[in-house]
Amino acid sequence: MKIIYIFFSILLLGIFSIHFNILGTKDKIYSTYPNLELRKKMFKKYSVMVNLENDYNVNFLPETEFVNINFQKVKLNFSDKFKPESPKGIYGGSRSKKIFFIELIENDIWIVDGFGYVYVNSIKELEELKNKVNLGQHYLSNKDENLILKIVDSNLKSKFILDTLFYEKNLYIYYKEKINNCWNIGIAVAKIDLKFLDFQKFFKSDECQLNNVEIGRMQPFTHNDVKGILFSSNSFAQDKPEEDLAQNDNSIYGKLNFINLEDKKHHIFSKGHRSLQGLYVKNELILGVEHGPRGGDEINKISFGENYGWPISSYGEKYFVGYSDNPYYFKDHETHGFKEPLFSFVPSIAISEIIKLPNNFSNHYIDNFILSTLSDKSLYRIKFDKNYSRVLFFEKIYIGQRIRDLKYHNDKKTIFLALENNGEIGILSK
């Protein structure tokens, strides 16, 4: 009888600890089984075992389907001037995170945080710290064991950063700023200089948008033998598609735009984009990944002059309306004169960037691409056919944090991730 009493006491204590998250018990369960949505279902009518049994054929790092990958994280010490808890944040309210972007320049890793502060550290420093504390999948909380970021002084102040690009010994910064309750976008450029970055105007939009400008991406591109930069700009309007800027040829929003490096003139390259946040460019090949609404995140092969359908066609639906058997958006693109995506994710994964892995990373990853995600907190290994006309397969690799940026170091065969939940550098290597 005493043994039974002790057993039930321990059981009740366990349930109580989980329910009230004592010592982080519930969080540990969620991190162990991230695909199960235990947060929603554990204390409802669904049994725990039903959810656990649904965790079929899921690998967790260091295991992937064919390759074991070492995953380590290093905490970054940003400037105190960077305040993700600011009232509006960078993207508003609770969505404000330790947002930053990565550039690899020779043997250094350059970091630009969400407010435009620029830092540089040697990759050697990063590796030495990683090896010293034997981080594994965790970082130590002592600030002495975090990476002390070295600030590079500049004249870029109080900007909300959307992307960075290192090209031809220049650092380009894509930013937004709010003027008279309206959002404008611009690009500043500076020659690489460790002492002082003297940013000059490269592009500034005369058009403002009342809706918040949340994302953008840049890539160098040669169009009709003219060197320039492609940059994307989002358009979030949902309720009245006929008024949306993405289909308006007089607006730069909801577009992929091209700007000439020499004369700084710009024009629309493609339109009908909702939130194009990731770009891969190689010669004439342009792959863009963008957020859909509720569902319908897209991988697109982008060509000059094409229309990709937003906000008329989407494989997602509106967020804030009741649902019925009558979809709000057309459920195909081609019938209505738009380009079909190569692939569409339902539900949404919040794609953030796309890179191609050099073949030196793994014989199992030949001609593979890596997609990063925000809300899905994962990487996706993607294989296209030789014509980039369809996706052959993908593999999900769970990371556990929002990933805003990706960079690959060819010599070190290492993928660097910008992990924004805790302001960390993620390091993936074989």
CA distance 309 to 34: 33
Q: How many CB atoms lie within 10 A of CB 166?
A: 16
pLDDT at 21: 65
Q: What is the mean pLDDT of residues 315-326?
A: 79
Q: What is the mean pLDDT of residues 12-32?
A: 64
Cβ-contact 249, 271 below 8 angstroms: yes
Residue 135 has pLDDT above 60, yes or no: no
Q: Which amino acid is at 201?
A: K
Among residues 62, 248, 80, the alpha carbon closest in space to that of 149 is found at 80
pLDDT at 208: 86
Note every long-range contact of 176-179, with CB atoms under 8 Å and residues 24 or more positions apart, other chains counting: 176/213, 176/216, 179/208
CA distance 402 to 29: 19
160 by Cβ neighbours in 10 Å (0-12 / 13-18 / 19+) ranks as buried
Backbone angles phi, psi at 220, to 5 degrees: -70, 150
Q: What is the mean pLDDT of residues 47-76?
A: 79
Cβ-contact 201, 172 below 8 angstroms: no
Comparing 142 with 224, which gets the higher pLDDT? 224
Question: Which helix (H) or strand (E) element contains residue 31?
Answer: helix 25-32
Q: What is the pLDDT of residues 177-216, one digit of tens each?
A: 888 888 899 999 999 999 999 999 999 998 988 777 888 9
CA distance 311 to 237: 8
Residue 93 has pLDDT above 50, yes or no: no
159 — pLDDT class (breaks 50, 70, 90): confident
Residue 246 has pLDDT above 80, yes or no: yes
pLDDT at 35: 53
pLDDT at 95: 45
Q: What is the mean pLDDT of residues 337-344?
A: 97
Residue 405 has pLDDT above 70, yes or no: yes
pLDDT at 296: 92
Comparing 126 with 85, which gets the higher pLDDT? 126
Comparing 362 with 12, which gets the higher pLDDT? 362
Task: Compute the mean pLDDT over every residue in the chain, rounded to the nearest whole number.
Answer: 85
Q: What is the mean pLDDT of residues 283-300?
A: 95
Cβ-contact 250, 264 below 8 angstroms: no
Question: Which helix (H) or strand (E) element contains residue 101?
Answer: strand 100-105
**Structural domains of the chain sorted by starting position, each given as residue range(s) with its CATH number in brackets:** 1-58 (no CATH), 60-429 (2.120.10.30)
CA distance 293 to 319: 7
Contact residues for 413 (Cβ-Cβ < 8 A; gap 6+): 360, 361, 429, 430
* Least confident segment among 232-236, 321-325, 373-377, 380-384: 321-325
CA–centroid distance for 52 within its chain: 29
Longest CA span, the chain: 87
CA distance 48 to 200: 57
16 — pLDDT class (breaks 50, 70, 90): low
Q: What is the mean pLDDT of residues 331-341?
A: 95
In sequence order, what E strands does 291-386 have?
Answer: 297-301, 343-345, 351-356, 368-373, 378-384
pLDDT at 89: 45
Among residues 204, 351, 207, the alpha carbon closest in space to that of 273 is found at 351
Task: Look at the block and give the residue holding tokens 């992937």.
Answer: 64
What does DSSP assign to residue 387?
Answer: T
